[in-house]
Structure 1
Amino acid sequence: MLPFALLGAAPPAAARTGGWSLAPAGGGRPAFYAEGVPGTVLRDTVSVTNPGRTPVAVRLRGSGVPAVFARAGLRIPPRTRAEVPFTLTVPGDAVPGDRTGALVARDAHGRTATVPVRLRVGGPALAALTVEHLAVHADRITYELVNRGTTVLVPRVAVHADGVVGRVLDRAPRTLPVRLPPGARRTFGEPWPDRPVLDAVRVRLTVTATGGARDTADTSATFVPWDAVTGGSAAAAAGTAVLLRRRRGHRA
């Protein structure tokens, strides 16, 4: 059975609508603050206050946070405050960092009140990424980056290519204009307009990020000017061809 209390003076509320209000129990808190490692069950209490002269029926739910209430639907008598215990379980696959959400109450007339929830997920910070699906096209190098760690990464990429007689591409590390969140996969491209016309090359791409994250991938490609070989008919149809002999390699 939920605890109910008759009101003298109503306590300060974080959110109010149509006369009833929603707030953390105990007063003095504008929001709920919780912290724990994945799998932790956190407990707190929310207050629904009805200072009016008629009963109020509301339903409670969590928005953006996994909240479970002792009673999701309740009816609060006039001039009464209901104290509703609830739990927040930090997801087992949650990565370290801050999350935001809210507890939401809605009455029979569609009016809602919310209280913010600030959840901090603890655990070790791990910076890790992989380079995947490196490929060479006619005038472009494409690849995918996957954030395998628990921190947001800002990658830096360097590209090198060696041909039969020496280096044909040498790009120093540069920072990509992207923030890669944990678990994210993104596709990127490196333009190569001055590629060799006739050569067999080996392309190596190296990506690093703060925290020690690092990975490399390499592939091979053969550039053949088919217009010179066939008298121009192939060039008119397909342009310069790139024959790929992909070989994948990692050094994490």
Structure 2
Amino acid sequence: MPPVARAPGPPRRPPRTPFALIALLLPLTLLAVGPAVAVGAGGWVVAPVGGGRPAFYAEGTAGTVLRDTVAVTNSGRTPVTVRLRGDGVPAVFARSDLRIPARTRAEVPFTVTVPPDAGPGDRTGAIVVRDAHGRTATVPVRLRVGGPALAALTVEHLAVGADRITYELVNRGTTVLVPRLSVRADGVFGRVLDRAPRTLPVRLPPGARRTLSEPWAGRPVLDEVRVRLTVTAAGGARDTADTSAAFVPWGAVTGGSAALAAGAAVLLGRRRGHRARTAPRSAGAEPTGAVS
């Protein structure tokens, strides 16, 4: 039996969605272009624009200007006023103060300039957004500075004081340094100080200068010594500095000098008195009289 043709029925319609639900979901769908990585307590969020990034990433050599865009999304029912700033990174925004209407997203371009004296390595910071009520949200910034790595340092202004040795360390390279220090001092009769290399509790970023001291309570009482400091760090950084110092017991010397001076004054006084008693009188001083 040949198939029986049936008349097509009315077209099937998709299930209707209540208008109120459409009004609620559509704006959120349009606004949610990137992930909300930082949430403000007032119903607004902050995120990098595009790419689904949880943070800002940038790389460049010293002096490079890096560009990116941050989005502030207000999903609430009332406008919000926010202020943008960089924390730990020199960020400059196209607009730092914004008033964002309800259910609206604002995109703000900004630049970060790598400092001209920045050495190679990783740096961290954040883009901070704060509203009029003091609520804040942040997005991390990861900055990698390129360029050749150079480890170099110098020891400067070495001096020997009453009970310690003072000096300055200067990072002359482009990497962060954790220095190691050894100390030697040789006197007239041999070595009087010998401290093996040890790691100092300091971190020197490029260009940093630190004044440090080394205690020396058991220094010689009477000697002339040559003090030498040797500082090293990873990457081949190394420098030495030396200076001379004379140790004299000035208290004993001062006391002996005072005793000698006092004895000399007594002897001098006695000699002057003896001279006064034995000096002859002049002829004009004798009494004269007339004889009648």
Q: State the TM bucket, normalised to the shorter chain.
A: 0.7 to 0.9
> Which sections of structure 2, spanning at least 5 residues, go unmatched?
1-25, 259-292
Q: Which moved more, 1:225-234 or 1:144-153?
A: 225-234
Cα gap change, 1:138/1:77 in structure 2, threshold over 3 Å: closer, same or farther? closer
Q: Does residue 51 of structure 2 align to residue 23 of structure 1?
A: no
Shift of 1:228: 4.1
Matched residues in 1 for 2:70 and 2:220: separation?
68
Q: Which has the higher contact order (CA 8 A, sep 6+)?
A: 1
The match for 1:191 is 215
The structure richer in strand per residue is: 1
Shift of 1:217: 1.2
Aligned to 1:108: 132
Q: Secondary structure at the match of 1:78?
A: coil
1:98 equivalent in alignment to 2:122 = yes
Deviations 1:196-221, CA, capped at 9 Å, x for gaps:
22222222211111111111111111
Measured in 1, the distance between the counterparts of 2:50 and 2:200 equals 48
Identity across the alignment (%):
83
Give the distance between the partners of 2:214 and 2:112, measured in 1 at CA: 45
Give the distance between the partners of 2:136 and 2:214, measured in 1 at CA.
50
Contact kept in structure 2, 1:13 and 1:27, CA below 8 Å: no
1:232 deviates by: 6.6
Asked whether the 8 Å contact 1:226–1:232 carries over to 2, the reply is: no
State whether structure 2 residue 62 is matched by structure 1 residue 38: yes
Q: Say which one has the larger Rg.
A: 2
State the aligned residue count: 229
CA contact (8 A) 2:39 2:45 kept: yes
Q: What's the secondary structure of 2:89's corresponding residue? A: coil
CA distance in 1, matches of 2:120, 2:94: 28
Moved more, 84-93 or 51-60: 51-60
Q: Deviations over 1:148-176 (max 9, x none)?
A: 22222222222222222333333332222
Greater share of helix: 2
The answer to whether the Cα contact below 8 Å between 2:45 and 2:72 also exists between their aligned partners in 1 is yes
Contact 2:118–2:206 (8 Å) recurs in 1: no
**What is residue 137 of structure 1 aligned with on the other side?**
161
User: 1:242 is matched with which residue?
Assistant: none
* Aligned with 1:54 (options 75, 78, 83): 78
Is 1:13 aligned to 2:33, yes or no? no
**1:226 maps to what in 2?**
250
> Considering only aligned residues, what root-mean-square deviation do their CA atoms show, in Å?
2.4
Give the aligned partner of residue 270 of structure 2.
none
Return the match for 1:168 from 165, 171, 192. 192
Runs of 5+ consecutive residues of structure 1 not aligned to the other structure: 1-5, 235-252
Contact (CA 8 Å) 2:71, 2:107: kept in 1 or not? yes
